[in-house]
Amino acid sequence: MEDQAVCCYRHPDRETGIRCTRCEQPICPECMVSASVGFQCPECVREGNASARTVRPRTVAGGSVARDPHLVTKILIGLNLAVFLAVQAFGKQVSLDLGLYGLCQKYTSQCIGVAAGPDQWYRLVSAVFLHEQVAHIAFNMLALWWVGAPLEGLLGRTRYFALYMLSGLGGSALVLLLAPSSLTLGASGAIFGLFGATAVFVRRMRYDMRPVLILLALNLFFTFTWSNISWQGHIGGLVAGSLIAVGMAYAPQERRALVQWGTCAAVFVVTLVVTWIGVTQITG
């Protein structure tokens, strides 16, 4: 006898290991609505709302269900494209003004980039939206849409935005610590954070880990074998995103928001500490 795959009752082409806690029908991530215990399907949520209007649909991670579940991803892609067009229009100076680097001249003690002072730390964020080459931004934006859009639907807008930005900051911080003198730019660190978060949630929802692990392994292979790629940014983003996702995916129901935002705050503090250490090494 052969085992038959269990598929979502609303999307028969999608296998799943999760069931609605009320009707016990199988549901996929798109149909999961967070409940006080486990997840419910949209029909059960609507029935509950009919009898108790105070019930609000929530994402898997506890965020609010938005009418456009991919809005933040679209805005992030738009911002990256806008900065890319500015680089094409105004040239290299835009990259020098927004890119991540820090350097002090040995004999004059003149510092530039992040090493010039806290007012230059904006580069930790601006560099995440900066691209110079068409192939670079095309690859990153495709990856952002393919990986980011589903994650935004799982997390909700606020949690997803926090994950993206903190992953980018994590990548920037590790670059500043290990390779500060080279101009570094691109959304790859933030996107690697999304890769890590995807792996965490796939594991949490008991899906097949092999596709996401293969994708992650391929990207890590390219990271360490292709030239002119900042492996520090990729690894920093991957670690930050994975840690945040663990806090969001496995937070206990009764204090979920506290654990989730506490994890984000902890990663942010670590990022600031690593940044401070990196700047101290440059200026010391």
Q: Which of 17, 9, 52, 58 minimizes the C-alpha distance to 37?
A: 58
Six token digits for residue 34: 């967070």
Q: What is the pTM of this model?
A: 0.79
Q: Which residues pair with 112 in a beta bridge?
A: 103
Judge whether 232 and 185 are in contact, CB under 8 Å.
no
Listed in sequence order, the residues at least 6 apart from 11 whose beta carbon sits closer than 8 Å to its beta carbon are 28, 30, 31
Helix 256-283 to helix 231-249 angle, to the nearest 10 degrees? 160
For the chain, the maximum distance between any two Cα atoms, rounded to a whole number of angstroms, is 78
**pLDDT tens digits in sequence order for the chain, 284 residues long:** 345 668 888 888 888 888 888 888 888 888 888 776 678 888 888 877 665 444 567 777 777 777 888 999 999 999 999 999 999 999 889 999 999 999 888 776 788 889 888 899 999 999 999 999 999 999 999 999 999 999 999 999 999 999 999 999 999 999 999 988 889 999 999 999 999 999 999 998 888 888 888 988 998 998 888 888 889 999 999 999 999 999 999 999 889 999 999 999 999 999 999 999 999 988 87
Beta-sheet pairing, 111-113 with 102-104: antiparallel
Write down the pLDDT at residue 52.
46
The whole-angstrom separation of Cα 148 and Cα 236 is 18
| pLDDT for 258 | 94
Contact 110, 82 (CB under 8 A): no
pLDDT at 28: 87
Query: C-alpha angle 270/276/282, rounded to 5°?
Result: 140
